[in-house]
Structure 1
Amino acid sequence: MEDTSFTNQRTNNLRKRYRRWFKIALYTVFLLLGQSVATLLGRLYYDKGGKSKWLGTLVQLAGFPVLFPYYLCILSAPKNPISNNNTHPRQPSSVLAFVYVSIGLLMALNCYLFSVGLMYLPVSTYSLICSTQLAFNAFFSFFLNKLKFTASIINSLVLLSISSTLLAFQSADSGDSAGVPKGKYVIGFICTVAASAGYGLVLSLTQLAFRKVLKRETFKEIMDMIIYQSLAATCATLVGFFASGEWKVLKREMKEYELGEASYMLNLTWTTISWQLFNIGCVGLVMDVSALFSNAISVFGLPIIPIMAVVLFHEKMNGIKVISMVLAVWGFISYVYQHSLDDLKSKAENIDVQKAPPPEEKLNR
């Protein structure tokens, strides 16, 4: 009987492990696909005649209603009363509202800064400067989530920082910014770095919120986080959109778009959907693993964008950019290696706890 019980427990543990890694893989696909497609479409919008920074911000946030059908399915699904994920009581609405609104407002600011950076920088330069967000995330996670800096994580952060810095300075001197005034190029660079710092802070705060406030590891909590903070961010962006007066020129902008009005609408629609895929993957990885791992996956996907930019926008791919991408991938692998070690250590500790005899048995001995 004991052998059968142990076998069943081992089988259940394997199923949970495979199920967890399947979820992580699915979230990773959502994040990488959504990030790459949305960034390239955003650059295409500006490249073919788009000029609205607030509209570029809005498409990053306003697509959350497309998630409502799936959200309703989650709400109507039968709940397991003995699930360990639901043992913590739900926080008061006022506390949850403060979390969603505060993170949402910070998201709106970050998205606007990202929009400015994408408008003024070549997409290859923009995407690899964004890899600094991993270093910022590690910095904030050290204070907010008690992240431990190991040799592999430090190596990863150094490589990613050198990668983006190398590309940024090389691009500034190489003519990649041709057609963009030097002042605007500098503004784009500063905004992208500031947005990367803010994004690292948002991920760290999201992880802190799940750990300290929400205390529920369910997909419903992910959907709540995405929808409510997106609602707050969208409302803030709409205020800026109408206050700036950019809405007045959208009709003319659509008519003057080089690829036509239909392509203009399709671009905005698919950009909106792609950012929602990215949000699901990002928040899912934060909940199932950590904010730093989510950011590492995002950084790993950034070198994909310059390669696509060579094909779509005919940007130059020289030796410095290749070295920068190799360093970014190396930095990502270094972090994943450390995460694998931590995962193996955690599993070993769980096995030791399961094999340890209960306190009563120890007393009888």
Structure 2
Amino acid sequence: MTPHRAITSLLAAALTTLLGTGLLAPAASAAAPSAPAAPAAERRKPVIARVVEFSLVNTDNTLLTCAPEQRPHTVRARLVGPRSRVLGTGREGRINVLVHDAGTGSWFWNQRRTPRYDYAGQLGRRGELSLVVDRLGYDRSPLADGNDTCLAAQATMLHQLVQKLYSGDYRFTGDRRTDPPHATRIVVHGHGTGATIAQLEAARYDDTEGLVLMSWPGVSSSGAAVAQAREQAAACLRGASYAAYGRSATAFRRLLFVTAPAAVQRAAARLRNATPCGDVTSLPSALLGSGTSAAQVEVPVLVMYGSRDARVRPGAAAAAARMFRGSRRVTPVTLPGAGSALPLERSAPRTRAAVLSWLGRR
């Protein structure tokens, strides 16, 4: 057994212990304000997407317990936005970096076959430029052994990616002649585990201008979320390299969705990814770290939850807002009737309206 795999096994055992004692499920708090209504008609601009590549080192520069293999990897993403911004040269203003959850992938943010639920595409129609990332171990960014990374390493790689966006040190796939756009400002959007990664990066490096956190699990994990984490940890303890998120497609859908159209749910279930076991077993230190480091985030934060999110307890938005006490401005939003997957629920236009309104104040 390699050293990092041995540490992974120990962390998996610790995770099952923490989940069993309920230490990852704090008490609930009061409800937060609802989101504003969606505009009657969203302005439309032509939107394109181009695949880009980053060379990132799978390492841990945080203080969390972690055992990545310290090697460089190619992490792929898509730039989505107006043609003039995606293919523009020089500095291109704000870039939104979209970080997906465990079990999903970049497809969560970029539903090209169902434009109404295409978060990146619809932001692009309003003039925003987004980078939709496949984290290491997912889809276009494969990792042979899921034990070789962890959530602290994912946060460190996110920091590397942010810095490369500022410097322009990345490239279009298959095109070495065209320079990709540089960012002058960056806002990171994260969902679920991706929100934890985004928050940890912001707390440690303070190199972005804001955070949009959807279904952030740092405050009040539900019984369903605890049970799901326990199942994944048990699979990793049995020697798996990757663990399914949801024991079935139906279980996966119940964790994420309430009102999303059936076609969207079926497509998501087909595209769901197993979670790298290094991410699974580093969950205790990541959640405990995010809970204590939230107060270190200084940039403005938008925290968003659905009122029927199966993975958090009621009142999560208000509870999260109190934890970001070091932020210059915290905006808690609760979407009535929505589940965890806010960009894919029927209230998706209201989710985008709240995000665009918040971005407009940056």
**TM-score normalised by structure 1 residue count:** 0.26
Q: When you count helix as a share of all residues, which structure comes out higher?
A: 1
**TM-score normalised by structure 2 residue count:** 0.27
